[in-house]
Amino acid sequence: MAESEEEVDVLVQRVVKDITNAFKRNPNIDEIGVIPCPEARYNRSPIVLVENKLGVESWCVKFLLPSVHNKLLLYRQRKHWLDREALADITCTLLLLNPDFTTAWNVRKELLQCGALSPEKDLYLGKLALTKFPKSPETWIHRRWVLQQILLQSSGRSQKDPQSEEERADGEQSRRLNDQLARTLHQEMKVCSDAACRYPSNYNAWSHRIWVLQHMATGNVKVFHDELSSTRLWVSMHVSDHSGFHYRQYLLKELIAELSQAAASTTTTTTSTGVLQHMCSTVAGISPPHHDQANGEEAGEDGRQLSSTALLQLFHQEVELCTDLIQSFPGHETLWSHRRHVYYLWHDWRREHKHQCHRGSNGGSEPDRLENGDEGPLKACAQSPAGLGEDGVNGPRHAGEAMEVDGASLPDPRNSKRLKRGALPPGAPALPSEHGFVSGILDSDCDPEQRRFALAYRKWLDTVIVQHP
Amino acid sequence: MGTQVKDVIIKPDAPSTLLLDKHADYIAAYGSKKDDYEYTLSEYLRMSGIYWGLTVMDLMGQLPRMNRQEIVDFIKSCQHECGGVSASIGHDPHLLYTLSAVQILCLYDNVDALDVDKVVEYIKGLQQEDGSFAGDKWGEHSSQRLYSIYDSRLHPSPQGKIDSINVDKAVEFVLSCMNFDGGFGCRPGSESHAGQIYCCSGFLSLTGQLHQVNADLLGWWLCERQLPSGGLNGRPEKLPDVCYSWWVLASLKIIGRIHWIDKAKLRSFILACQDEETGGFADRPGDMVDPFHTLFGVAGLSLLGDEQVKAVNPVLCMPEDVLQRIDLQPDILS
């Protein structure tokens, strides 16, 4: 059925209007899609809104897209004027059908800049586009631009002249700002997570997630730790998702950087102490130690021990997770790749840590035992992960240690001291135990792919780690 | 019971010879048969699409079949006042399409169809404080852009324009994208990715900084991309894809480690990605073909030594004879 240009134009204008109205009627639309429907039914709109899903019948898409596309380009070439509202509606329709159309996003940037659109609208539009096109590079790129505008706006507001506001109002406003940013941050985490579910190993989604933390959560140990917790189950159910595991590597790396800094400094703030205590207490029901903040030096030492112990816990938990998954799901390259990364982070941290200790005044006559040769009180992480829980990082209980507690067990302060000496606490990753792990896999597992990856891991240990002590 | 490895299985009746004529016919006819909808969908990258089509035609010795004048006129009408070039008429300018335009004009030995000084000015204006380059005036930057800028900056005039951009800072940024596994991500802290590795190695080659790469470590990561089918993927546990057969292979060539992969198996994978009926290559056997994968299939075969195809330069993905004409020979490790 051939249609004249005028008929097409009328149809298109109607459809664009229908889409705009659908959003007005239902501000909670959370998914878009194309409904397979080869024939137009007389006088019925191709726009279908059911519950919170917005659908476009497929018969109209081949008219709709080229028409709005060309309209926008005529505007861009100044051959045809469109007012702001029309631009907003047309670009919305366009981007829901073809979100990689960069120029359409740029038009919306200009609308944002002159106040005709709010940043939240574009975050919402992007979120919808991602339900159908979870990888769309241009959508993620535009999203980052919008977030930068939001960050600029809020940093502008928080720098208001203090003399023009009451102290209390200032505090409230900055609290509100922080709440708003926190909400935006968590929304981004959710958008990334949804997109990651929709497409396996979604590089763009996970890399965006990292970008958001880099720009909105710098140095925020609590956020990094929460993200580690909240993604643990997800990666366990997506053991091929290399990007998901890389995200955890990123989080670990950031936590190491932050906690190492804390360990090296002479004081710790109350906030980070609280988070550290929480981190230490998330394993084996330890209740966090109290300590007397009045004595700065002691508090500093406690903070350092707390940081080191928290780091040990992190490594221990990650290696345990990796081990469990490798054993439960044989033959997944991603899991072995993750093990390399985690081991490397550990190896690198140990190297840094040793240098820090030597730089400090720790009675430097302690022998420096390299982890390669240190068999010490080690238990292979893999061989008895369950056993590790009883006797691992916590160590046997000791009453009358430095910290006063109400009777519960606590992170073994001897571990951080062991670290300083260059020795390893029980259960920590180490070359001999990693080789033991590989041998265990080779001896027990028949899966040829698992063998291949185990051997490659061993080769990697011998080549990369051994050559960079 | 074995795990199902993420890979394809090449059927015994898959194509095993190179069907050059079919591919030339496919590219020559591309665009004329596309209906409005499909073609419109990809218009946002049209300039790159033309570059892919023309380059593969040139590699096959079939460039004269394309309409040179039409294409040159098209490019002229895509250069904006700021000097940047857009993907198509009326679209906004962008570094990626500026690069593609320059590469096309190099194939035709007609770079002065553009206002070259303006192009350089546009590119120079995109460099950020940290050394990276934005893709356009809106600011998104990544290491991929860097490759583009350096590449297109060189083409207009290999000598003389070098002081327009801060090369040291740009190198610094690329190196900050290097990961512990020897690979590169799109931004500092990002996951290693074969496409990014290609862009960064290419950039370091063009700036004479290949010695900064850990060739053994990176080479190892790259050759681990080869799967039992012979095809290459871009990251662990991804399916093989003909375009990664280019990004990975070319990177290996640049860092002097191309002999680390099984060439024969890769060749048979690439050939299996051909469509005997329509011509062209798909991402993997049995899928739909497109010009993008057609270029990288043919270019990959060229790198593997196929003599039916012209020699391709691994850094710039253009015929070697074109680069010889403009006297541009980027470094390659041995």
Q: Which residues in chain A have Cβ-Cβ distances shorter than 8 Å to B86?
A: 103
Residue A296, pLDDT above cutoff 60: no
CA distances from B230 to A371, B9, B300, B314 (A): 39, 10, 13, 20
Angle between helices A203-216 and A242-264 (to 10 degrees): 20
Nearest Cβ partner for A76 among B40, B90, B138: B90
Q: Which residues in chain B have Cβ-Cβ distances shorter than 8 Å to A333?
A: 236-237
Q: What is the pLDDT of residues A209-259, one digit of tens each?
A: 999 999 999 999 999 999 999 999 999 999 999 999 999 999 999 999 988
Distance from CA of A66 to the nearest CA of B (A): 6
Residue A134, pLDDT above cutoff 80: yes
Q: What per-residue confidence (pLDDT) applies to A43? A: 76
Q: Which residues in chain A have Cβ-Cβ distances shorter than 8 Å to B77?
A: none
Question: What 8-state DSSP symbol labels residue B7?
Answer: -
Stretch B23-45: mean pLDDT: 87
Distance from CA of B224 to the nearest CA of A (A): 10
Stated as kind and residue range, the H or E segment containing B211 is none
Closest C-alpha to B224, from B182, B286, B185: B182
Under 8 Å between Cβ of A46 and A57: yes
Under an 8 A CB cutoff, do B3 and A450 touch? yes
Q: What confidence category does residue A383 fall into, taking pLDDT thresholds of 50, 70 and 90?
A: very low
Under an 8 A CB cutoff, do B189 and A464 touch? no
Q: Which residues in chain A have Cβ-Cβ distances shorter than 8 Å to B136?
A: 106
- Determine the Cα–Cα distance for residues A278 and A432; give it in Å rounded to an integer: 31
Nearest Cβ partner for B193 among A138, A203, A240: A203
Nearest Cβ partner for A210 among B189, B224, B238: B189
Under an 8 A CB cutoff, do B89 and A73 touch? yes
Residue A275, pLDDT above cutoff 80: no
Question: What 8-state DSSP symbol labels residue A465?
Answer: I
Q: Which residues in chain A have Cβ-Cβ distances shorter than 8 Å to B185?
A: 207
- Determine the Cα–Cα distance for residues A99 and B196; give it in Å rounded to an integer: 22
Under an 8 A CB cutoff, do A100 and B238 touch? no
For the record, the structure tokens of B249 come out as 């292979």
Best of B7, B45, B184, B238 to mutate (most A CBs within 10 Å, chain A): B238
Question: What 8-state DSSP symbol labels residue A463?
Answer: I
- A320-329, A443-452, B189-198: lowest mean pLDDT where? A443-452
Task: Please count the other Cβ atoms lying within 10 Å of the Cβ belonging to residue B271.
Answer: 21
- Determine the Cα–Cα distance for residues A98 and A64; give it in Å rounded to an integer: 11
List CB contacts of B29: < 8 A, sequence separation 6 or more.
Answer: none
For the record, the structure tokens of B32 come out as 């004329």
Distance from CA of B140 to the nearest CA of A (A): 7
Nearest Cβ partner for A77 among B45, B90, B185: B90
Distance from CA of B193 to the nearest CA of A (A): 9
Closest C-alpha to A426, from A409, A439, A412: A412
- Determine the Cα–Cα distance for residues B74 and A257; give it in Å rounded to an integer: 52
Closest C-alpha to A370, from A312, A316, A423, A427: A423
Under an 8 A CB cutoff, do A240 and B6 touch? yes
Under 8 Å between Cβ of A25 and A49: yes
Q: What is the pLDDT of residues A259-269, one digit of tens each?
A: 887 766 655 55
CA distances from A203 to A216, A376, B146, B318 (A): 20, 41, 20, 28
Question: What 8-state DSSP symbol labels residue B238?
Answer: P
Residues shown for chain A:
469
Closest C-alpha to A126, from A182, A196, A188: A188
Distance from CA of B293 to the nearest CA of A (A): 19
Residue B209, pLDDT above cutoff 70: yes
List CB contacts of A79: < 8 A, sequence separation 6 or more.
Answer: none
Closest C-alpha to B51, from B119, B110, B115, B98: B98
The residue type found at B320 is: E
List CB contacts of B307: < 8 A, sequence separation 6 or more.
Answer: none
Closest C-alpha to A140, from A207, A65, A69: A207
- Determine the Cα–Cα distance for residues A251 and A226; give it in Å rounded to an integer: 10
Q: Which residues in chain B have Cβ-Cβ distances shorter than 8 Å to A141?
A: 135, 140
**Torsional class of A376: left (φ above 0), alpha (ψ -120 to 50), beta (otherwise):** left
Distance from CA of B267 to the nearest CA of A (A): 23
Nearest Cβ partner for A73 among B90, B135, B193: B90
Under an 8 A CB cutoff, do A103 and B190 touch? no
Under an 8 A CB cutoff, do A65 and B235 touch? no
Under an 8 A CB cutoff, do A203 and B191 touch? yes
Under an 8 A CB cutoff, do B2 and A449 touch? yes
Stretch A107-123: mean pLDDT: 96
Best of A72, A79, A101 to mutate (most B CBs within 10 Å, chain B): A101
CB pairs under 8 A between A and B: 107
Best of A333, A336, A338 to mutate (most B CBs within 10 Å, chain B): A333
Percent of the residues in chain A that have a pLDDT greater than 90, as a whole number: 57
Q: Which residue has the higher pLDDT, A407 or A98?
A: A98
For the record, the structure tokens of A175 come out as 């609290």
Q: Which residues in chain B have Cβ-Cβ distances shorter than 8 Å to A207?
A: 185-187, 190-191
Complex confidence, ipTM:
0.94
Under an 8 A CB cutoff, do B237 and A332 touch? yes
Nearest Cβ partner for B189 among A66, A250, A340: A250
Distance from CA of A359 to the nearest CA of B (A): 25
Q: What confidence category does residue A361 fall into, taking pLDDT thresholds of 50, 70 and 90?
A: very low
DSSP letters for A279-344: HHHTSTTPPPPP--TTSHHHHHHHHHHHHHHHHHHHHHHHHHHHHHHHHHSTT-HHHHHHHHHHHH
Rg (CA), chain B: 19
Q: What per-residue confidence (pLDDT) applies to B206? A: 86
Best of B34, B86, B191 to mutate (most A CBs within 10 Å, chain A): B191
- Determine the Cα–Cα distance for residues B215 and B5; give it in Å rounded to an integer: 28
Q: What is the pLDDT of residues A145-191, one digit of tens each?
A: 999 999 998 888 766 544 455 555 567 777 777 888 999 999 999 99
Q: Which residues in chain B have Cβ-Cβ distances shorter than 8 Å to A253?
A: 189
Q: ∠A44-A48-A53 over CA atoms, to 5°? A: 180
Stated as kind and residue range, the H or E segment containing A438 is helix A431-444
Helix (H, G, I), strand (E, B) or coil at B232: strand
Distance from CA of B17 to the nearest CA of A (A): 31
Tell how far CA B36 is from the center of its chain.
27
Distance from CA of B306 to the nearest CA of A (A): 32
A216: number of CA atoms within 13 Å, CB side? 28
DSSP letters for A404-423: --SSS----HHHHHHHHHT-
- A98-112, A297-311, B63-77, B107-121: lowest mean pLDDT where? A297-311
Under an 8 A CB cutoff, do B3 and A330 touch? yes
Under an 8 A CB cutoff, do A242 and B236 touch? yes
The residue type found at B47 is: M
- Determine the Cα–Cα distance for residues A380 and A445; give it in Å rounded to an integer: 18
Nearest Cβ partner for A334 among B90, B189, B237: B237
Q: What is the pLDDT of residues B124-179, one digit of tens each?
A: 888 888 888 889 989 887 556 556 555 555 554 444 455 567 888 889 999 999 99
Residue A393, pLDDT above cutoff 70: no
List CB contacts of A172: < 8 A, sequence separation 6 or more.
Answer: none
Burial of A17 (0-12, 13-18, 19+ CB in 10 A): middle
- Determine the Cα–Cα distance for residues A283 and B76; give it in Å rounded to an integer: 65
Under 8 Å between Cβ of A405 and A287: yes
